[in-house]
Structure 1
Amino acid sequence: MSTLPVAVAVDGSEGSLRALDWAVDAARRRGTALRVCHVRHYAAWTQPGAPLIMPPPPDEDPVLTDVRARLEAAADAPDAEYVGLDGAPGALLPELGAEAELLVLGSRGRGGFAGLLL
């Protein structure tokens, strides 16, 4: 039996919260811990002289704070670790998955018009 956690990436969206619920159930069924990650992508696309937007300190991540409260209110939630990472999701998520039994991601959706066509 694996001791690796089930990892889930959250960003506060409805899709990521559905992925969180699915990951909680998967971790519970596998008898493993849950690793909840928020990849914060702060791009500095500003004009010269404009103030840069800096990421919050790791212990003040509002997405992880909301997720922690959600899991603490849930009955029989697995043990959870909360990780805030700064960088590009496309680079960090594969690394996260390599250190987990399972990586769970939500759907970003297709947008209004594309969703309507489908």
Structure 2
Amino acid sequence: MSENESRPVVVGVDGSPASLAALRWAVEDARRRGCAVDAVTAWHADYGVMIGPLPAEVFADVSPQAMKAAAQRVLDRSVEGLEGVEIRRILVEGDARDVLFKASADAALLVVGSRGHSRIVEAILGSVSAYCVHHASCPVVVVREVKVEQDHALAATAAPLTPGPLL
């Protein structure tokens, strides 16, 4: 077995349809390579958007312990039913871009999902997949979310979306 085959396939998992597709892709690739999969979920408390005092029940839901437990549940549910290779569940506190960048240092391959946000959303929030493509220490595969084509009749009857109130 070569050195590359003993290195894991690392995949970013956040529970989104795109990350679940990336996880399935990573498992199949690892099966062919004969290596393990490191399913990595990053979580962090970001209180930057909260203003003013919070009711105790809301604060309990956004506490670091609650956020970590929620991320663990997402990771556990995401890997359920996947077989054929060793899947190591890795939960890390931190920004997903940094966590996946660091994990790529010891990986044969990094697999991430692309949610296909608009250019405006990606400019504001940033794109984890784009960051990984440009900064990872190993090859990167970006798996796009499967788009379900909507019924054209339904689309024709839907009200048009506007960016806000028109003046």
Does residue 91 of structure 1 match 2:94? no
Deviation of 1:90 after TM superposition, in Å, equals: 1.8
- Give the alignment's TM-score, normalised by structure 2: 0.58
Does residue 37 of structure 1 match 2:40? yes
CA RMSD in angstroms comes to 2.3
Does residue 53 of structure 1 match 2:60? no
Residues 41 and 108 (structure 1 numbering): CA distance in 2 closer, same or farther, change over 3 Å? farther
- Give the alignment's TM-score, normalised by structure 1: 0.79
- Identity across matched positions, percent: 32
| 12-21 or 62-71, larger mean C-alpha shift | 62-71
Indicate the SS of the match to 1:105: strand
Residue matched to 1:67: 78
Q: Greater relative contact order: 1 or 2 (C-alpha under 8 angstroms, separation 6 or more)? A: 1
Q: How many residue pairs get matched?
A: 108
Does residue 80 of structure 1 match 2:87? yes
- Any stretches of 5+ residues in structure 2 without a counterpart? 122-146, 148-167
Residues 42 and 108 (structure 1 numbering): CA distance in 2 closer, same or farther, change over 3 Å? farther
Deviation of 1:62 after TM superposition, in Å, equals: 1.1
1:24 pairs, out of 24, 27, 36, with 27
The structure 1 segments of at least 4 consecutive aligned residues displaced by more than 6 Å after TM superposition are: none
- Any stretches of 5+ residues in structure 1 without a counterpart? none
Q: Rg larger in 1 or in 2?
A: 2
